[in-house]
Chains A and B, each alone.
Chain A
Amino acid sequence: MKTFLYIGLLFTVFTTSGCWDRTEINDLAFIAGTAFDITDDGQYILSHQIAIPSQAAPGGGGSGQPEKFFVMSAVGKTINEAFYRLQKRSSRRLFTAHRSVIFIGESLAKRGIQDILDVYTHESKQRLKTYIMVVKGGEARSLLKVKYPFEQVPSEAIKEMEGLRSELAVTLRDFFLASSSEGISPFLGVIMPVGLSEGIKENKIFMLAGTAIFKDFKLVGFLNENETNGFLWVTDRMKSGRINAKLREGDGTVGMILDNANRKITPEISGDKIKFKIQLEGEGTIWENNTPLDIGLPKNLRLVEKAMEKSVEKQVLDTLSKVQKRYKVDSVGFGQEIYRNKPKQWKVLKKQWDHKFQEVDVSITVKLNVIGSGMAGAPLQLKEKEIIK
């Protein structure tokens, strides 16, 4: 009889812990991307870009160009309410684990995003790896409707673009880390709709466009492409990048591509004065040379390096002055450096850091190392005589 009892007990494992969370894959609606906007009366608009799997399969046939995705939107006082309303419109369970991006409308970002973020910390199927970005100049949901020629769903394309690391890529995790850390303010990536090529309005796609600076979860301003480049370097997120510089000698421009970039910040506190030394080091190869200089020669190479260093220094200084003087937000994390290296002083400085930060003195030293000039020294199109050796 005992055996029957054991078998019965074992069977309860199947019946009680069994199929309750079993969902067939074709009963799920895969959310590829989400957009948050705000209405004029302060309600949230939640939009989902949902992949249509039957059309995504290659060689499926059918007439015309089948849709690969569709966008649903709902309004709610809270995100949860809006999500619930969207679920009611969907015949399949909304599945968030495959979401790759979250867009935040500019107007919502300016009002503050703290209320929409908490949703992501509770459910396990929300991925902290999701990229989050602000849509510059427009509503976030309009970006969800943009079609993209590559990838099955457009949101995947953005994930891939972010993965290339050519621009600032901020995930939910990064954002939460920055906003909960001492001495640093969070920032987000920026995306905006553009034409396929400059000047054409129709056939819109999207592009990554700089950095959004936040203060107390409110958007205070943007950094443009150039400033973002400097920002990436000074926040040690630079993986690879391009530097352009104008050369006084020889009159022309040179460009290099960075393979390796490092940053070091050393805080120095003497009495009331706070000073930061930023050391930037980089390694790369020359990519473009529009000067008559023969950069195959070490002497000329040094010149080029000098010019590049100048250019980088200016770029970083521009970025810093914008962040420091105009937006008055410590997005770079200077405070964090003090907190990490001089925790005692930070305790004192912490309270007044918002003010102090604006008066902080920054000195930058750039050390670039050009390890190669590519296949040519001087431009090949020039005659021998025109080349400066």
Chain B
Amino acid sequence: MKRFRKWMRSKRGYPNIPEVHSEEDKNSSLTSDLEQNELIFQRLFHNSSDIVFRKVRLAGKNHWLVMYLASLVDEKIIDEHILKPLISNRTKQNDRVSEKTEALDDQFISLGTTSITSKVTNIVRQLLNGHAAVLTVGDGDAMMVKVTGTPQRSLEEPSSEPVIRGPRDGFIENISTNMGLIRKRIKTSRLKMESITLGELTQTQVVITYIVGIVSESVVEEVRKRVSRIHIDGILDSGYIEEFIEDSPFSPFPLVHSTERPDVVAAELLEGKIAILVDTSPFVLIVPMTFWAGMQASEDYYVRWPIATFVRWIRFLFIIIAIFAPPLYVAITTFHQEMIPTNLVLSIASSREAVPFPAVVEALLMEIIFEALREAGIRLPKQIGQAISIVGALVIGQAAVQAGIISAPVVIIVSITGIAAFTIPRYSFANGIRLLRFPILFLAGTLGLYGIVLGFLSILLHVTSLRSFGVPYFTPVAPLTISNLKDVILRVPVWAKTRRPQATGSNNPFREPAGQKPSPSQGKRSSE
């Protein structure tokens, strides 16, 4: 156990992680010699085919050096706004050309984001972030100009959370676009976006966003603390961050909510939650998360409330089915046959007549095959995906039953369970639920209903003991906040949901004044 703990626990200090700029002294600065400066960078970017050094002459001598990484910038912008002014200026024989780099953006460079630095480390970092560096002869400063132009995907409907009614834009792999998608929805200066760079080699930009005045300042501080604590060579997706900042890393339930939908992020920000955006990841993290957030789809809030409430109840029903249907089948048919109505017991018995396996093995087998099919369906190229489903349906649905290897009721139960797991709107949450089925199935096969009750109670105990950034996971059911159940058990009309959830929005509890229920008389009054 000790060894296991030691193995799981990451050590402090990370001597083996190479740092980005270790080749060069951290404090080294540019010299005033342009050729010398060029040499520094040529050495640093040795064997990098995409670095471009462009020298611009003035009066027959190299006067400016423009450096950039062609793969990261929009070269059109460089041509238009850096090179063209510099070159045309030379031909105009303007003798009031400043010798200082600082003055470059006053005279030539017509771009917004510029900065002056002399540190090699900074220049390298910015070059790698899609900036261009402009060096002037005889000056130890470089002007960094933002000309980012990495290829990006267009905004598409998020494939993991599709809706029928509701906005269809989803996050993409570019963080500034993603930030824009949120800004577009919440137009207030109180929406803050704190940036932090993580990953020694990837230098990934991570943005913590929240609305001041609604969010609890201590939770923001906690998020900052947890995020800045991360030391890793590279961050390739927000999933990396999620695993670093979770409260209970061994729980099957996700404690950080991840979404591809900007409208979900906006809604959660308005409830006083905090979103974490990660560059190169279309998935935005939201903390704190509750159990019930896993059961809510964004579309719940866009369709009319009776339908949304009904759909929620269906989900509650099917989450139970997703966990307990196969275990219940196994437990009842192997331990409690007296509980089944006589006619049903006879037909189950007849379908099991030729089956060689015990019911537990049968159910486990089918569940595993189903999971494999599902996994194969996700990973396969789309063209072959269809073949898999046909083979799966034929082999498992029909041939196995006809051959008497698997009984028909098990196939029915497993398919219902499979469908049930897909009714859960949050993908990571559904995964947790799917996983829980197996231990409970095992318990049911060994202990019967007693085992199922045991399993149910331990899940309940676990869920109620979880916390996400100080918020109890099962709230508002446990601890109970009756007024917040309006958005859990029901989905009350928007005009009746006057308060923010108490767990996250108690700083600023009201989101709208009461009494906005529409009625004919109200309409009359307003027209008067």
Question: A residues engaging B (CB < 8 A)?
Answer: 1, 3-4, 13-14, 17-19, 21-26, 28, 30, 32, 51, 53-57, 60, 95, 97-98, 100, 125, 127, 152-153, 156
* B342 with A156: CB separation less than 8 A: yes
Bound: A93/B111 CA distance, A: 87
Contact A56 B352 (CB under 8 A): no
The residue in chain B whose Cβ has the minimal distance to the Cβ of A56 is B346
Given A4-B1, A95-B337, decide whether A25 and B347 contact each other with a Cβ distance below 8 A.
no
A152 CA to B358 CA, complexed, in Å: 25
Q: Are A51 and B346 in contact (CB-based, < 8 A)?
A: yes
Q: CB of B428 within 8 A of chain A? A: no
A30 in contact with B342 given A14-B447, A24-B334, A25-B349 (CB within 8 Å): yes
Are B343 and A152 in contact, with the CB atoms below 8 A? yes
Picked from B338, B353, B355, B446, the residue with its CB within 8 Å of the CB of A53 is B353
Q: Is the interface of B mostly helix, strand, loop or mixed?
A: helix
In-complex Cβ contact of A54 among B333, B338, B350 (8 A): B350
CB-defined A-B contacts under 8 Å, sample of 29: A4-B1, A13-B447, A18-B446, A21-B335, A21-B448, A22-B335, A23-B335, A24-B358, A24-B359, A25-B334, A25-B337, A25-B345, A25-B359, A26-B352, A26-B353, A26-B355, A28-B349, A30-B346, A30-B349, A51-B346, A53-B349, A54-B350, A55-B350, A98-B338, A100-B342, A152-B346, A153-B346, A156-B342, A156-B343
Return the chain A residue nearest B355 by Cβ: A26
Beyond the given A53-B349, A55-B350, please list 7 additional residue pairs across the A-B interface where CB-CB is below 8 A. Answer: A3-B1, A13-B447, A22-B446, A24-B334, A30-B345, A32-B342, A57-B350
- On chain B, the residues within 8 Å of A32 by CB distance are 342
Q: Do the beta carbons of B335 and A25 come within 8 Å of each other?
A: no
Residue pair B1, A23 in contact (C-beta under 8 Å): no
B293 within 8 A of A: no
Going nearest first, the 4 A-B pairs with the smallest beta carbon separation are: A97-B338, A53-B349, A57-B350, A53-B350
Given contacts A53-B346, A56-B347, contact A25 B447 (CB under 8 A): no
Q: Within the assembled complex, what's the spacing in Å between the Cα atoms of A350 and B335?
A: 48
For residue B446, which residue of chain A has the nearest CB?
A18
Which residues of chain B are within 8 angstroms of A26 by Cβ–Cβ distance?
349, 352-353, 355
State which residues 76-94 of B face A: CB under 8 Å. none
Are A19 and B446 in touch, CB under 8 angstroms?
yes
Whether B351 is near chain A, meaning CB under 8 Å from some CB there, is yes
Q: Using known A-B contacts A23-B337, A152-B343, determine if residue A14 contacts B446 with beta carbons closer than 8 Å.
A: yes
In the complex the two chains form, what is the Cα distance from A167 to B343 in whole Å? 24
B333 contact set on A, CB distance < 8 A? 24-25
Chain A interface, >50% SS class: mixed
Instruction: Decide if B352 touches A25 in the complex (CB within 8 Å).
Output: yes
Chain B residue at smallest Cβ distance from A98: B342
Contacts of A30 in B (CB 8 A): 342, 345-346, 349
Query: B337 and A57: CB pair below 8 A?
Result: no
Q: Return B422 CB to nearest CB of chain A, in Å.
A: 29
Q: How far is the CB of B187 from chain A (nearest CB, A)?
A: 53
Query: For the complex, what is the distance from the CA of A165 to the CA of B354, rounded to whole Å?
Result: 39
> Cβ of B446: which chain A residues have Cβ within 8 Å of it?
14, 18-19, 22
Residues of B within 8 A of A21 (CB): 335, 448
Q: Can you name the residue of chain A whose Cβ is closest to the Cβ of B362? A: A24
* Assembled-state Cα–Cα distance A21/B359 (Å): 14
Q: In the complex the two chains form, what is the Cα distance from A4 to B450 in whole Å?
A: 24
Chain B 479-491, CB-CB to A under 8 Å as 1, else 0, gives 0000000000000
- Asked if A125 and B347 sit within 8 Å, CB to CB, the answer is no
A53-B352 Cα distance, complex, nearest whole Å: 9
Task: Find out whether the CB atom of A23 lies under 8 angstroms from the CB atom of B353.
Answer: no
Is B405 engaged at the interface, CB distance under 8 Å to the other chain?
no
A54 to B407, CA, bound (A): 12
Determine if B348 is an interface residue (Cβ-Cβ < 8 Å).
yes
Taking a contact as CB atoms under 8 Å apart, the answer to whether A60 and B1 are in contact is: no
Which of B334, B359, B450 gathers the greatest number of chain A CB atoms within 10 Å? B334
Which of A3, A19, A55 has most chain B Cβ within 10 Å?
A: A19
From B338, B342, B351, B354, give the contact of A125 (CB < 8 A).
Answer: B338
Contact residues of B between 123 and 164, Cβ < 8 Å to A: none
Contact, CB under 8 Å: B448 / A22:
yes
Interface residues of B in 432-457 (CB under 8 A from A): 445-448, 450
Q: Which residues of B contact A60 (CB under 8 A)?
A: 350
Beta-carbon nearest neighbor of B342 in chain A: A98
Given contacts A22-B448, A156-B342, contact A57 B347 (CB under 8 A): yes
Instruction: State in angstroms the CA–CA spacing of A21 and B447 once bound together.
Output: 9
* Separation of A95 and B358 alpha carbons in the complex (Å): 18
C-alpha spacing A125/B354, complex, angstroms: 26
Do A57 and B334 touch across chains, with their CB atoms under 8 A apart? Answer: no
Write the chain A residue with the least CB distance to B408.
Answer: A57
Give A18 to B445 CA distance when docked, in angstroms: 9
Known A56-B350, A60-B350, A156-B342: A28·B337 in contact at CB below 8 Å: yes
CA separation between A54 and B333, bound complex, in Å?
16
Q: Are A57 and B447 in contact (CB under 8 A)?
A: no
Residue of A nearest to B339 (CB): A97
- Residues of chain A within 8 A (CB-CB) of B337 are 23, 25, 28, 95, 97-98
B338 touches A25 (CB 8 A): no
Chain A residues within an 8 Å CB radius of B445: 19, 22
Which residues of chain B from 1 to 34 have a CB within 8 Å of any chain A CB?
1
CA distance A152 to B341 in the complex (A): 13
Q: Which residues of B contact A17 (CB under 8 A)?
A: 447, 450
Contacts of A19 in B (CB 8 A): 445-446
Contacting residues, chain A, for B342 (C-beta < 8 A):
30, 32, 98, 100, 156
Contact (Cβ within 8 A) B347 A23: no
Q: Which residues of chain A have C-beta atoms less than 8 A from B345's C-beta?
A: 25, 30, 98
Contact, CB under 8 Å: B352 / A24: yes
Q: Collect the chain A residues with CB atoms within 8 Å of residue B1's CB.
A: 1, 3-4
CB closest chain-A residue, reference B409? A25
A151–chain B nearest beta-carbon distance, Å: 8
Q: How far is the CA of A1 from the CA of B4 in the complex (A)?
A: 12
How many angstroms from the CA of A223 to the CA of B347 in the assembled complex? 39
Q: Digit string of B305-342 for contact with A (CB within 8 Å is 1, else 0)? A: 00000000000000000000000000001110110001
CB-based nearest B residue for A2: B1
Q: In the complex, A267→B353 CA distance in Å?
A: 60
Partner of B348, one of A22, A25, A125: A25
> Would you give the shortest CB distance from B339 to chain A, in whole angstroms?
9
The CA-CA distance from A271 to B489 in the complex, in Å, is 67
In whole angstroms, how far apart are the Cα atoms of A152 and B343 in the complex? 8
Bound Cα distance A212, B348 (Å): 37
Least CB distance, B449 to chain A, in whole angstroms: 11
Residue of chain B at shortest CB distance from A23: B334
Assess whether A18 is in contact with B353, with CB atoms less than 8 Å apart. no
- List, in ascending order, chain A residues with CB within 8 A of B351's CB: 57
Do B350 and A18 touch across chains, with their CB atoms under 8 A apart? no
Query: How close is A330's CB to chain B, nearest CB, in angstroms?
Result: 36
The residue in chain B whose Cβ has the minimal distance to the Cβ of A151 is B343
Nearest residue (CB) in A for B1 is: A3
Measured CA separation A312–B342 after assembly (Å): 39
Cα of A24 to Cα of B362 in the assembled complex, Å: 12
**Residues of the B chain whose Cβ atoms lie less than 8 Å from the Cβ of A25:** 333-334, 337, 345, 348-349, 352, 359
A60 to B347, CA, bound (A): 11
Shortest distance in angstroms between B302's beta carbon and chain A's nearest beta carbon? 46
A56, B354: Cα distance in complex, Å = 14
Q: Give the chain A neighbours of B343 by CB distance below 8 A.
A: 152, 156
Q: Which residue of B lies closest to A3 (CB)?
A: B1
Tell me the minimal C-beta distance from B332 to chain A in angstroms: 9
Residues of B within 8 A of A55 (CB): 350
Determine how close the nearest CB of chain A comes to the CB of B363; give it in whole angstroms: 12
The contact string, 1 if C-beta is below 8 Å from chain A, for chain B 221-252, is 00000000000000000000000000000000
For A4, the chain B residues whose CB sits under 8 A away are 1
Q: Once bound together, how far apart are the Cα atoms of A55 and B353, in whole Å?
A: 10
In the bound assembly, the distance between CA atoms of A25 and B343 in angstroms comes to 13
